[in-house]
Amino acid sequence: MRWTHVALVATTALAIATGAQPAAAQSGLVGPTLPTNDLQNFLKLDGYQTPLRLPTQHNPEPVLAPVPRAQCGAGSRPLAGMQGRVDTAAATSTAAADGWTCNTTLVSRHPTPGGFRVWRYTDPAGHVCAYYDTSLFSRLNVVSALGGPSPGVVVLDMADPAHPKQTAILTDPAMLAPHESLNLNARRGLLAAEMGNGATLPGLMSIYDIAADCRTPKLRSTFLAAPFGHESGFAPDGRTFWIGGGQGIAAVDVSDPSRPKTIWTGNVFAHGLNLSDDGNTMWDADPIDGDLITFDVSQVQARKADPKVSEISRLTWDTVSIPQNTAPLRIGGKPYLLEFDEFAFRFNPPTLDDRAGAARIIDIADPAHPRVVSNLRLEVNMRAAHQEAATADPSELPTSSAFPYGAHYCAVPREDDPGIVACSFLNSGLRVFDIRDPLHPKEVAYFVSPPTAAAASGAAPADLAFSQPAFDPARREIYYTDATTGFYDLRLDASAWPDPLGPPAACVSSRVVLIHVPGAGRVRSARVTVAGRRVRARLVGRTGVRVSLARLPRRTVTVRIVARTAHGTRTIVRRYHTCRPGTKAP
What is the 3-state composition of the chain as percent helix, strand, coil, each rounded to the nearest 5? 10, 40, 50
Q: What is the CATH number of domain 88-492?
A: 2.130.10.10
- The predicted pLDDT at position 31 comes to 61
- The predicted pLDDT at position 3 comes to 33
Q: CB of 241 within 8 A of CB of 192?
A: yes
- The predicted pLDDT at position 556 comes to 76
Domain boundaries, the chain: 88-492, 512-577
Nearest to 136, CA basis, from 156, 117, 120, 119? 117
pLDDT tens string 436-475? 999 999 999 999 999 876 665 666 678 889 999 999 999 9
Number of H helices, E strands in the chain: 6, 40
- The predicted pLDDT at position 44 comes to 52
d(CA 29, CA 188): 48
- The predicted pLDDT at position 6 comes to 41
Model confidence, pTM: 0.84
Q: CB of 189 within 8 A of CB of 123?
A: yes
Measuring CA to CA, how many Å separate 278 from each of 149, 238, 240, 355? 36, 11, 12, 35
- The predicted pLDDT at position 511 comes to 83
d(CA 258, CA 223): 10
d(CA 471, CA 489): 9
How far is C-alpha 107 from the geometric centre of its chain's CA atoms?
A: 25
- The predicted pLDDT at position 401 comes to 78
Phi, psi (5° rounding) for residue 562?
A: -110, 105
pLDDT tens string 28-61? 555 666 665 555 554 554 679 999 999 999 999 9
* Apex 382 CA angle, 376 and 383, nearest 5: 140
Q: DSSP state, 553?
A: B
Give mean pLDDT in consecutive 10-residue pieces for the chain, a chain of 586 residues. Answer: 38 44 46 58 67 97 97 97 95 92 98 96 95 83 64 97 98 94 97 84 93 97 94 96 92 98 96 95 96 97 97 97 96 94 90 89 96 98 93 79 90 96 96 97 97 66 90 97 94 96 72 84 90 87 90 81 87 80 49
